[in-house]
Structure 1
């Protein structure tokens, strides 16, 4: 699996009233740096033991992480869906829009046994333009991701990490009952990875710039008790 795909412009173009941010997230903290935000403290979600090793999400630090993420974005297998090729400033603009936003989307590195090897965006699907195109529920949480290195793709690692991050979301966000993803329907490896991780293919949705496979993982009934 190379990637799912995303648009920071889409994720961040809904304006939230200050009263909403004050109620559901602490606007004075820095989203994406591990501070309280509309998703909780993602930096405190892990680590997770997986069959591939110990995994955790590390909110992006642009000064530290930009060269690596920009290199991944220029990999043709990633660029086909993320469309962020070019100089590092292209990736910087995409990531910075989230880091300076209200916390509804938090960019993270996925670190496996101490090695950064994937990029994730954890976002509030109920506050995303996705809600304009399909039914979402309050506190629904979405995932965008890419596996950075070609050597890590095609061996089931994507499925393992999707399962781990899904569990982290549901464990860390008790109010969240569903985790969503919307990979491009052409990205068959990504769709297959979500299916193998326990997601169901709920629908195909026409989003700006792509036709997406809406993937949904629901909290098991016993988890909601």
Structure 2
């Protein structure tokens, strides 16, 4: 998982993810050894082998809700991310564009092999490791969608938008239907240290709430010990809900509520 942008916001109250660090951001949190570790919504394994794909949706659910939407070409579980369109943010016009494996793999692979990123996302090993990580989501049942974040026409970040209520994360907190999780990596060194992190976290969380009317909150799970990361979520309008035990880490459950979005 990615390391960090130098500052978490765009103005006063912005914090570095690690003091003095200008590396890429990963808002999935750190593993038990203090390094950035696998996130709960990741389709790769936790430290104990827990995997998003191991949480199989019941066949009855798929037959009733997923397959009919897929048959009509609709994004089934995340409300048609491809239709969300470009949106203005304080840092420019931003759009989530679902990853096209044949077109975007070289870019995502390059980001994952950045020495500042590789130890944290753990996708820089075998040549096809990044491809397998992306393909598992693209060819999956729709619970997680890998996206490029395109800012003013330029791809500059990698996102995973996932159904937290249908993810192993839901085993560790009182999930509500349609809870939506987010992961973020700011890819290029030129886009780090510009204060993009908190601004984009807030923008994407609000975008999820705008485009997913059934979703009442957006969640994340940074390592509890990483105070700057928790502060970054706070500056992006998330609130601290609870400490939760996840494989490999004690996490801070961070939530951005629909009902509080105008106040935070």
8 A contact 1:73–1:91 mirrored in 2: yes
1:16-62 C-alpha deviation (Å, 9 max, x unpaired): 123212433346639xxx84221111011121101211100000111
Choose the corresponding residue for 1:40, options 56, 79, 85: 79
What residue in structure 2 maps to residue 130 of structure 1?
169
Tell me the TM-score normalised to structure 2 length: 0.76
Once residues 88 and 186 of structure 1 are traced to their aligned partners in structure 2, the CA distance between those partners, rounded to angstroms, is: 33
- Give the match for residue 43 of structure 2: 8
- Matched with 1:29 is 70
1:64 matched to 2:91? The reply is no
Question: Residue 89 of structure 1: CA displacement?
Answer: 0.7
Query: What's the Cα RMSD here?
Result: 2.2
Deviation at 1:219, TM superposition (A): 0.5
Distance 1:79-1:124 versus aligned 2 partners, 3 A rule: same
Task: Check the 8 A contact 1:73/1:82 in 2, yes or no.
Answer: yes
Residue 128 of structure 2 aligns to a residue whose secondary structure is helix
Greater relative contact order, per chain length (Cα 8 Å cut-off, separation 6+) = 2
Question: Contact 1:4–1:184 (CA<8 Å) still a contact in 2?
Answer: no
- Give the stretch that moved more between structures: 64-73 or 1-10: 1-10
Q: How many aligned residue pairs are there?
A: 220
Distance 1:4 1:89 in 2: 24
**Residue aligned with 1:77, SS:** coil
- Distance in structure 1 (CA, Å) of the matches to 2:172 and 2:206: 26
Q: Decide which of 49, 61, 84 is 1:20's aligned counterpart.
A: 61
Contact 2:237–2:261 under 8 Å retained in 1: no
Unpaired runs of 5+ residues, structure 1, are none
Whole-Å separation in 1 of the counterparts to 2:185 and 2:142: 20
The corresponding residue for 1:164 is: 203
Which position in structure 1 is the counterpart of 2:131? 92
- How far apart in 1 are the matches of 2:77 and 2:158? 19
* Rounded Cα–Cα distance in structure 2 between residues aligned with 1:28 and 1:35: 5
Tell me, yes or no, if the aligned pair for 1:67 and 1:88 is still in contact at 8 Å. Answer: no
Change (3 A) 1:23 1:172: farther
1:192 to 2:231 alignment: yes
Q: Which residue of 2 aligns with 1:108?
A: 147
More helix by share: 1
Instruction: Find the structure with the greater CA-based Rg.
Output: 2
- Asked whether 1:183 is paired with 2:222, we answer yes
Gaps of 5+ in 2: 5-24, 29-38, 45-50
